[in-house]
Structure 1
Amino acid sequence: MHINLSGHHVEITESLREYVHEKFSKLERHFDQINNVHVVLNVEKLQQKAEAKMNLNGRDIFAMSENTDMYAAIDALIDKLDRQVIKHKEKYTKH
């Protein structure tokens, strides 16, 4: 899995980069056919936004979350993506 990480109005520190890689590695446990992930971390006034677009085999998954803390926004993003990946895996195995 290849992760592209970019930031708008926020500096991507090494700790943020490691945190994102650690969280996305948990998604690979559920579904190992994740090709590419594009993650954008954004700051708008007091809101911290995290959004991600994942390329799976045959499908693209997008999720976005907002919070006042960037780490909490990343956690919520991973939860949303996890639910979508599990749903995609269930459909994929039925066929």
Structure 2
Amino acid sequence: MQINIKGHHLEITQAIREYVSTKFTKLERHFDQINNVHVVLNVEKQQQKAEAKLHVSGTEIFATAENSDMYHAIDALIDKLDRQVIKHKEKQAKH
């Protein structure tokens, strides 16, 4: 799985990069057919926003989360993506 992290109005530090990559290993445990991940971290006034687009076999999965703390926004993003990845995996298993 290749993870691309970009920051808008935010410098991507090594700590944030490691935090994001460790969180995305959780998704990889549930579904191992994730090809690419594009993560965009954005700061607008007091709101921290995290967006991610997963390229999985057959489709793309997109989620976004906002919070006043970047780490909490990343956690919420991972939770949303986790639910969507499990749903996609179950759909594939039914076919």
The bucket for the TM-score relative to the shorter chain is over 0.9
Q: Structure 1: 5+ residue runs without aligned partners?
A: none
- Give the whole-Å Cα distance in 1 for the aligned partners of 2:89 and 2:67: 28
1:91 paired to 2:85: no
- How many residues are matched? 95
Query: TM-score, normalised to structure 2's length?
Result: 0.99
Question: 5 Å matches for 1:7-86?
Answer: 7-86=7-86
SS at match of 1:42: strand
Partner deviation per Cα, 1:4-45 (whole Å, 9 max, x = no partner): 000000000000000000000110000000000000000000
SS at match of 1:72: helix
Structure 1 residue 75, shift from structure 2 partner:
0.1
SS at match of 1:48: strand
Runs of 4 or more off by more than 6 Å in structure 1? none
- Give the whole-Å Cα distance in 1 for the aligned partners of 2:29 and 2:21: 13
Q: Structure 2: 5+ residue runs without aligned partners?
A: none
**Which one-letter code corresponds to 1:10 in the other structure?**
L
Structure 1 residue 59, shift from structure 2 partner:
0.6
- Give the whole-Å Cα distance in 2 for the aligned partners of 1:92 and 1:78: 21
Query: TM-score, normalised to structure 1's length?
Result: 0.99
